[in-house]
Structure formats: C-alpha cells, structure tokens
Amino acid sequence: MGDKSESHEDVVKSVYEIRKKLAKEWNIGLARNYDKVDELLNQAKILLAKMQSYVPLALAEGEARNELTLACDILELGARVSVAKMAVEKSDNSEEFDRYIAQLKHYYFDLNIGNESAYMYEMLGMNLLKLLSQNRIMDFHIELELFVHSNTEKALNDPYIKKAVEIEQYLTEGRYNKISALLTTKEDDLKVTGLKSTSFRYFIERVVENSRTIIADVMEKAYARLDKKSASKSLYISEVDMNKFAKERNWTIADDYVYFPKKNEETEILPSYQLVQDGLQYARDLDTII
C-alpha cells in the first residue's frame, strides 16, 4: 500500500476489493466486527486519497467520475457504520458521523455526485434528524435550505427528507405524541413509506429521547409530585418503563405518585394530566418568545 510505484489502476482495484470486504462485513448485521470494519475503512481512506491525487476532482469525468462515485459509496457506508456504533455504544458522540457527512456534502454538491448516489437523501435526512435530536433547530433549517433550493420538489418529496421535516413540525408544535408513535410503527410499515434505513430509525429514537427529556425538565420545574399514570402518559412511556426513567432522573415513586427533586417549599401539587400539558405549552410559548 505504501509502494510509490503503485499504479492508479492498482489503487482503484484495491479500493474495489476493500469495498467488497466492507459490504460483506456490514451485511453480517449485529454480529459484525466493528474493529475489522474500522480497519477496512481506514485502509479505504488512505487509498481514496491516493486515487484522487491522480485526477483533479473538479475535472473528473468518464472513468474518473465512476471512481468518485465509488469514493462516495464508501463514505456513505462509513456514515452508516458510525451511526451503528453510536447505537451499540449508547453514545451521543456524533463527531465521526459529522465528519462523514461533511465529506459527503462535498461530493454531493461541490462535485455534483449527488445525482449519482441512491443514498444522498438518506444521508442528508439522517443529518437533519441528528440536528433535531440536539435541539439545533436553526442549524436544521440552514442545512435544509442548502440542498432544497436547488431541487425543491425532489428533495421535499423524498421520504427521508419529508419525514425529517414532518418531525421538525411536530417538535415546533409540541406534538410529542406523534414523534413517539413513530417508535411503535412496525419496521415493515416504515419500509412501505420508503424509510428502509435502520440508521435513520436510530435518529428517530434520539429525537424521541430528547423530546422526553424536555418534557421531564418541564415537569420537574412545574410540580412537586404527579400521579404515576399521568406522568407516564405525558412522557409517552409505559408505567413499567416509568420506573427505569424515574431512577435515571433521580425521581422517587411511592404510592403511585412520582416525586420530583424538591425545588422550593411553595411548589404546588398538581396531579392533573391536563395541567401538565398546559405547563408544557407555556414552556413552548416562552421558548418562542425568547
């Protein structure tokens, strides 16, 4: 790999071989070896740098164009791998995914490879959901504008972009039940709507978890205690899962009530589900004003 006499054809051949190995390892599924996948991706990145050094990217056409598409394909797989690792490690660290997306946007827009990629909108849709899961609403709209303005109809009708925009609207309107319902949607039903990516579903889960955190924060500030059934309903989780969630938040459950950490002596005890919803709406109104 370090041989300077290595021809361009040899490099391209090596990239194709690594691409096959990557696909084979990825298709193993949950039992895949991520150390092996990372090693293959690192080898691929070195070879891609060599491959592209032969032809100025902006002038690439013909066979060289196919090589750029190959490079884009490997980066897209790398992005999926980074998301899968986040899920396995239960990590919020999206730095690796962010790097892949930054590189892919260069290929999609600067080198105009997007039309030759079957996965462009899936990648961009995942990035939009990632921004929503991090409460980066302004960045969401900036990113959306970057690629929608050039092909508005196609972009907004793509199932991945369409779903991301729909979820952003749910968040803006405070319709957390609509977002939560996506997690109970059967995988086959999602595929019927064009959402075949398990990586995309992971970011839907992250948005739901973030929404749940927002609701929980409001509940803590508004109430000293809340009956368990109302709390579970507000958070869109079962009463069984409520026990685990309460433990993570340092809440206490006793006599079918959820007791929140003490804020002040004058906090009013309001067990009504509707009052929780009113409190959440008030919080959203404040955010809008600010």
Q: What is the DSSP letter of 284?
A: H
Cα 32 from Cα 261, distance rounded (Å): 42
Find tokens 């790398």 and name the residue. Answer: 78
User: How many residues does the structure list for the chain?
Assistant: 290
SS (H, E, C) 126-153: HHHHHHHHCCCHHHHHHHHHHHHCCCHH
Mean pLDDT of all residues in 189-200: 62
Let me know: does 71 contact 55? Beta carbons within 8 Å: no
CA separation for the pair 249, 122 (Å, rounded): 34
pLDDT 10s digits, 215-256: 899 899 888 999 999 899 888 888 888 999 999 999 999 999
Question: What's the CA gap between 117 and 247, in Å, rounded?
Answer: 45
Provide the token pair at 202: 């992971």
* Of the ranges 133-147, 167-181, 255-269, the best mean pLDDT one: 133-147
Residue 266 clears pLDDT 80, i.e. is over it:
no
Measured between alpha carbons, how far is 236 from 208 in angstroms, rounded to an integer?
A: 9
**Residue 18 or 192, more confident:** 18
Domain ranges of the chain: 1-116
Cα gap 116→25, rounded to integer Å: 24
pLDDT at 208: 86
pLDDT by residue (tens digit) across 157-179?
Answer: 889 999 999 999 998 888 888 88
Residue entry with tokens 């979820």:
167
pLDDT per residue as tens digits for the range 82-102 = 999 998 888 888 999 999 999
User: What distances in angstroms separate CA 99 from CA 38, 75, 128, 166, one per listed residue?
Assistant: 14, 10, 15, 26
- Tell me the three state secondary structure of residue 252: strand
The predicted pLDDT at position 150 comes to 65
What's the predicted TM-score (pTM) here?
A: 0.80
pLDDT at residue 122 in the model: 93
Query: CB within 8 A of 153, min separation 6: which ones?
Result: none
Q: Is the pLDDT of residue 288 over 60?
A: no
Whether pLDDT at 192 is above 50: no
Average pLDDT over residues 179-200: 63
DSSP 3-state assignment of 45? helix
